[in-house]
Structure 1
């Protein structure tokens, strides 16, 4: 299921977990405040870092990798969504980065 950057921003500080699945080199562009960085290639091995009882929003640069991450999370029993347009759309909307 997809979620917009604006909807994601509304959930900041709530019980939603935001997972940034970009590679470390891509983080220089900034991250969503409060997001946890777990590169897509490491996600399967690091699922235990996430709380299965809380929803997850997966984020990447443009939305493709986060869709794969959300599928992987859903298959592992998490309630997961992907942020449409990724960090490109987040920055385009003028939303804050950390």
Structure 2
């Protein structure tokens, strides 16, 4: 019996108020920037006001040339974005544009996951909505 209490004491389990050391809190998760949706009207207003915003068109080259694109936009197809991240500035807001809004959201999420800590916007409705609104395109 004495051996039993000696073992309990050795492992810090003796006494009715045995305590354990609380585990250290895990480090905070890295803050991932939020991706927001921007309407074509909001984007047009921002561009007209001269606000700095990088226009990233993530469609295919055929869509970019054949369907038109927003003046000043830079083409990096979403399929190539992972290998071309260095071409995207990390010091200004970025608006991603595609045909209808799906690929642009994917591109924004890719940028956020790769450490782009800037405002990231996915243009709602894509180029279809931009053209339907009567905004200029090339």
Range class of TM-score, shorter chain: over 0.9
Deviation of 1:14 after TM superposition, in Å, equals: 2.9
d(CA) in 2 for partners of 1:34 and 1:72? 22
Matched position secondary structure for 2:122: strand
- In structure 2, C-alpha distance between the alignment counterparts of 1:94 and 1:53, rounded to whole Å: 30
What's the TM-score, normalizing by structure 1?
Answer: 0.94
Mapped partners of 2:45, 2:94: distance in 1? 14
- Greater Cα radius of gyration, structure 1 or 2: 2
State the TM-score, normalized to the length of structure 2: 0.68
Secondary structure in 2 matching 1:22: coil
1:47 and 1:10 map into 2 onto residues whose CA distance is 27
- Tell which deviates more after alignment, 48-57 or 7-16: 7-16
More helix by share: 1
Work out the CA distance in 1 between the residues paired with 2:108 and 2:134: 24
Match of 1:10 among 45, 53, 57: 45
Are 1:34 and 2:69 matched, yes or no? no
User: How many residue pairs are counted as aligned between the two chains?
Assistant: 98
Shift in Å at residue 11 of structure 1? 2.6
Aligned alpha-carbon RMSD (Å): 1.0
CA separation in 2, counterparts of 1:26 and 1:53?
A: 28
Specify which structure has the bigger relative contact order, considering alpha-carbon pairs within 8 angstroms and separated by 6 or more residues: 1
Following superposition, which runs of at least 4 residues in structure 1 exceed 6 angstroms of deviation? none
* Alignment correspondent of 2:20: none
Distance 1:43 1:16 in 2: 18
Structure 2: give runs of 5+ residues left out of the alignment. Answer: 1-35
